[in-house]
Structure 1
Amino acid sequence: MTDLPPGPAELVAAVPGLARYLRPATLLHPYAAQPAPGASGIGGPARWPGGEPWSHCTARHPEEDDRIPHPDPELRAVPTALVPLARIRAEDAPHLPWPEGTDLLQVLWCPNDHDDIQGERYYYGPAVELHWQRAAELAPATPPPPRHSEEEYLPQPCALRPEQLLDLPDRDELPEELARAVAEFTRRQGLEYERDRGRADGWKLGGWPSWHLTDLVPIDCGRCGERMNHLLTVESGDDPDLSVGRHGELHVFVCPVDVAHPVGLDLQ
């Protein structure tokens, strides 16, 4: 029988200072299946307010620039329809910062790479929009096909098996003294906190992001400057059959002051 690495509860019991870093999270566990009508899911059918136009991306797409000759790059930007990435019901992730009166989060993205949507901070990947909505006000919708898309950004439909849990951060998120205490505890068990930690991996809502590629890169709101919170991890591979970054993870962050502020994005 193999000994399992300590989970969040064991780590907090051994190092009580970790308790204030616990965050609720939901692992989505996607599997290949058409989501049931009204259920949380990845890809698949969309719902939208009746009479409202579908959301489009108007940013510049570098891949299109090579095919659309024009001396002014700004005039090369042609709107393309966003693609449904995920639909989340409030009951499956009650810990998210739901605006009053909303019970459905739709995550849409532009299935093209972008290099000019994060200001001075480097990013090269899909543009993401969040739509916090009320399910009763939506109707089945057929989004228009995107004008251009990268195949690895078109999700295969998946149903979800939501699992709610508590999450702890990577070591880089902790004060040095606390990080040393956790490292000492895990070292006594022949483990390393960087590898055997309390942070859950996979498609995830809430909790903490992974910093396995770049180490900690604080994500601040471009509108108000507040440190942003992790909202969603999109993982490459498995049944949605997506690939972000170099077959890595895309992290989506939201502002704690106002979720309507533009999202923060990071690839790991």
Structure 2
Amino acid sequence: MTRTTPARPVSVETVFPELAAHRGRTTRLHPRPGRPGLRDSHIGGPMLWPDDEPWPVCHEPHRRETEGYAPDEIRSARAAGARPRSRPWHGAGSPGEDGPVPFVGLAQFFRRDIPGLAPGPDGADLVQLFRCPSPHGPHAERRYHLRWRQAAETERAERFLAAPPEVPLLGREHELPEPCVLHPAEVDTYPWAEDDTLPAPLIARIDAWDDARAAEHGPDAPSYQHDLSIPPGWRVGGFPSWASTGPMAVDCAACATPMRLLLTAEGHETDGGSHSWVPLEDRDPSVRGRASVRGGPSVARPTRLHFGRDRDLHVFTCPTDPGHPPRWVLA
């Protein structure tokens, strides 16, 4: 089903004409629980992975856990609309103490499905995103892995991996993504308005406009950051949001070039401040405002994933050489 972003409650370029020079495009992915296939762009579905190629694993030490959730029991509980039961870790304890930990496949995107996806090394047009299921160190840091492929070449493999390796227990239920099909749709987007992301006089005018709207119409009045600049949820390209950290300089570690945003992963597709972005197909047309949103968790948190403390995971790549190491920023 098509997903249509509603018209913005205010024409931002009418209020701030100079924003036209900063306009960008982002592809909203609109994941919804489903049954994606090997050759589909998806979140949480089966990876297009040749059977003779080693699955990525994390070799670093991992933080010790005392209990966790079996992946198959998580799947069964979700199908039944219930919560999975936690189990104690037996034997040596945490995954990783007895050997490498297999990464969890989070998503794969083909440029044939998402034209806005930036090309990878040597024009690669398929990207696959992975996360280690276990935290690292005292600050529970995460490790991610990005694999680029030539889609046509990969699809010629004789056999594909039927079931990737999994750890017996996951520390949190939200480590396991729910298989989701995508409904890509491009929308206009504008930079986060803070620090030097836009000219200082323009940011001052945006802030003053937001304050005046809130004073006149109350806290639910549309605002630039929530309603007019950057949509929530999984998206490809566009501008990063900086709600938790404030804007950061993200430069390539190999060549110091400012990096570009490849994709953003987010645990929630909507929240109290961003409900205006919910697609028309997920609304009750007879009701206005936040109450019109329907679909429950399948719309609000379809992938079941979390990133940090409900932050955005921004994946950056080098525009000069996409083969340079990517950077992962929680914001």
After the TM superposition, which of the residue ranges 106-115 and 140-149 deviates more from structure 2?
Answer: 140-149
Equivalent residue, structure 1, for 2:126: 104
CA distance in 2, matches of 1:16, 1:170: 16
1:28–1:160: 8 Å Cα contact kept in structure 2?
Answer: yes
1:14–1:185: 8 Å Cα contact kept in structure 2?
Answer: no
CA distance in 2, matches of 1:127, 1:243: 14
1:128–1:263: 8 Å Cα contact kept in structure 2?
Answer: no
Q: What is the Cα deviation at residue 250 of structure 1?
A: 2.0
2:249–2:258: 8 Å Cα contact kept in structure 1?
Answer: yes
Q: What is the Cα deviation at residue 186 of structure 1?
A: 5.1
- The aligned amino acid for 2:181 is A
Equivalent residue, structure 2, for 1:126: 142
Equivalent residue, structure 2, for 1:195: 226
CA distance in 2, matches of 1:62, 1:257: 36
Paired residue secondary structure (2:206): helix
Q: What is the Cα deviation at residue 42 of structure 1?
A: 0.7
2:190 pairs with 1:168: yes
Paired residue secondary structure (2:261): strand
CA distance in 2, matches of 1:63, 1:250: 24
Query: Larger Rg: 1 or 2?
Result: 2
1:98–1:132: 8 Å Cα contact kept in structure 2?
Answer: no
Deviations 1:57-82 (CA, angstroms, capped at 9, x unpaired):
222322369x969xxxxx96942211
* 2:107 corresponds to which of 73, 86, 95: 86
Q: What is the Cα deviation at residue 158 of structure 1?
A: 0.8
CA distance in 1, matches of 2:186, 2:63: 38
TM-score under structure 1 length normalisation:
0.80
Q: What is the Cα deviation at residue 249 of structure 1?
A: 2.5
1:153–1:244: 8 Å Cα contact kept in structure 2?
Answer: no
Specify whether residues 261 and 112 from structure 1 end up closer, same or farther in structure 2 by C-alpha distance, changes over 3 A only: farther
2:180 pairs with 1:158: yes
CA distance in 1, matches of 2:110, 2:38: 12
Equivalent residue, structure 1, for 2:293: none
Equivalent residue, structure 2, for 1:72: none
* 1:5 corresponds to which of 5, 9, 12: 9
CA distance in 1, matches of 2:99, 2:190: 42
Specify whether residues 186 and 143 from structure 1 end up closer, same or farther in structure 2 by C-alpha distance, changes over 3 A only: same
2:164 pairs with 1:143: yes
1:108–1:130: 8 Å Cα contact kept in structure 2?
Answer: yes
2:85 pairs with 1:22: no
1:58–1:77: 8 Å Cα contact kept in structure 2?
Answer: no
Paired residue secondary structure (1:112): coil
CA distance in 1, matches of 2:140, 2:201: 35
Q: What is the Cα deviation at residue 195 of structure 1?
A: 3.3
2:275 pairs with 1:244: no
Q: What is the Cα deviation at residue 176 of structure 1?
A: 0.8
Specify whether residues 244 and 39 from structure 1 end up closer, same or farther in structure 2 by C-alpha distance, changes over 3 A only: same
CA distance in 2, matches of 1:77, 1:205: 37
- The aligned amino acid for 1:222 is A
1:87–1:106: 8 Å Cα contact kept in structure 2?
Answer: yes
Equivalent residue, structure 2, for 1:59: 60
Q: Which runs of 5+ in 1 are unaligned?
A: 70-74, 117-122
CA distance in 2, matches of 1:248, 1:101: 30
Identity %: 34
Q: Which runs of 5+ in 2 are unaligned?
A: 1-6, 67-90, 215-221, 269-300
Specify whether residues 115 and 26 from structure 1 end up closer, same or farther in structure 2 by C-alpha distance, changes over 3 A only: farther
1:80–1:110: 8 Å Cα contact kept in structure 2?
Answer: yes
CA distance in 2, matches of 1:110, 1:155: 13
Paired residue secondary structure (1:230): strand
TM-score under structure 2 length normalisation:
0.66
2:206 pairs with 1:182: yes
* 2:256 corresponds to which of 225, 248, 253: 225
Give aligned pairs, total. Answer: 252
1:80–1:148: 8 Å Cα contact kept in structure 2?
Answer: no
CA distance in 2, matches of 1:157, 1:240: 7
- The aligned amino acid for 1:84 is G
1:87–1:105: 8 Å Cα contact kept in structure 2?
Answer: yes
CA distance in 1, matches of 2:212, 2:231: 22
Deviations 1:23-80 (CA, angstroms, capped at 9, x unpaired):
2211111111111341111112111245321211222322369x969xxxxx969422
- The aligned amino acid for 1:94 is P
CA distance in 1, matches of 2:245, 2:98: 31
Equivalent residue, structure 2, for 1:263: 326
Paired residue secondary structure (2:64): helix
CA distance in 1, matches of 2:101, 2:311: 25
